[in-house]
Amino acid sequence: MNRLPPWLSVQYPFAGNSFQTPAGRLNYVDEGDGPAVVMIHGNPSWSFLYRNLVLALRPKFRCLALDHLGCGLSEKPRRADYSLAGHVERTAAWIESCGVEDFHLVVHDWGGPTGLGAAARMPDKVRSISILNTAAFSFKTIPFRIAVCRWPFVGALLVRGANGFVRAARTMTTVQPLPEAVQEGFAWPYGNWHDRVAIHRFVRDIPMSRRHPSWNALKEIEAGLPRWRKIPVQILWGMQDWCFHEEFLKAWQEILPEAEVSEFPKAGHYVLEDAGEVALQLIAGFAASGD
């Protein structure tokens, strides 16, 4: 297990837990007692993204927040299955290992397809869902600044060499600048070329055509999304997200027309940072309403 520096432990005061998979060890947060809330992060973040949500919920809930393989405090093997299907398989196995009877699911960014893909394997256990600036369906375009990170050779230099993806996430994901200590918290697990393997693989794994290896996995997850109309779903959306912009929100509203939507005009991609206490209270209330 990684030993956190004191300044990071202040922001992220959680004991590490391990779940062993064939591909490598996964780290996760397991805090509090009560109804379970499962939190799945995206790229290039880690369970640090949910630190304030865990602190807010743990007096009444059991909070479970995973670090994907290659992310956060999990192992970062150079050779592993970093595909969407691989992440879904590991996420589902981890949830099952936690022994929860049911859970409220929170997903963000790549946590959308991985979390909802895992949840689709145990739909009877999912009591409600919070969706935060993500997509779990195919889309036609991606921003140029992300597309360039997928280019052969150049992408690896930008993402793994220059740490461009993490550096951008520190400044381009919020409307209000993140405090320096928070920026450092998001970036801390990704200090060198080796540590950024999953970040680059996540970017490369965005399936933009039928020829992509993860296309079928994404389309299977997309096809199953209407099943969640049967349970309570809330959507919290940072409206100034330049990646998962308003058209993604509209797509979610078409797929899940009964979902409870909260728009945050002055929030960006990291809606939990920009929307702060309001977003935390909305999720806490929604998770409690499903008990």
DSSP letter for 244, please.
Answer: S
- Residue 232 within a domain: yes
Number of domains observed in the structure of the chain: 1
Q: Write down the mean pLDDT value for the chain.
A: 96
Q: Are 198 and 70 in contact (CB under 8 A)?
A: yes
Q: What is the CATH number of the domain that holds 76?
A: 3.40.50.1820
pLDDT for the residue 2: 64
Its pTM stands at 0.97
Q: Do the domain assignments include residue 225?
A: yes
Binned at pLDDT 50, 70 and 90, residue 243 comes out as very high
pLDDT at position 291: 57
Separation in Å, CA 93 to CA 86, 114, 117? 11, 12, 12
Q: What is the pLDDT of residue 144?
A: 87
Tokens representing residue 22 in the block: 């064939």
Buried b / exposed e over 24-51, threshold 16 CB at 10 Å, is eebbbbbbbeebbbbbbbbbbbbbbbbb
pLDDT, mean of residues 137-160:
92
Which whole number is the average pLDDT over 105-133?
A: 98
Residue ranges of E strands in 13-145: 17-21, 24-31, 36-40, 62-66, 103-109, 126-134
6-57 confidence digits (pLDDT tens):
999 999 999 999 999 999 999 999 999 999 999 999 999 999 999 999 999 9
> Residue 289: what pLDDT?
84
For residues 256, 257, 262 and 264, what is the CA-based torsion angle, rounded to 10 degrees? 80
For residue 49, being part of any structural domain is answered with yes
The arithmetic mean of pLDDT across residues 275-288, rounded, is 96
Give 3's pLDDT tier (boundaries 50, 70, 90): confident
Going by C-beta distance under 8 Å and a sequence separation of 6 or more, which residues neighbour residue 149? 155, 158, 159, 164, 165, 200, 203
Residue 208 has pLDDT above 70, yes or no: yes
Is the pLDDT confidence value at 225 over 80?
A: yes
Four-residue CA torsion sign, 103, 109, 115, 116 = positive
In the block, tokens 């479970």 appear at: 64
Is there a domain that residue 1 lies in? no
Q: Is residue 98 part of a domain?
A: yes
Task: Quote the pLDDT of residue 290.
Answer: 62
In a domain, residue 155? The reply is: yes
Structural domain for 105, as ranges: 6-289
Three-state DSSP class for 127? strand
- Helix, coil or strand: residue 78: coil
**141 within a domain of the structure (yes/no):** yes
- CA angle 33–39–42, rounded 5-degree value: 160
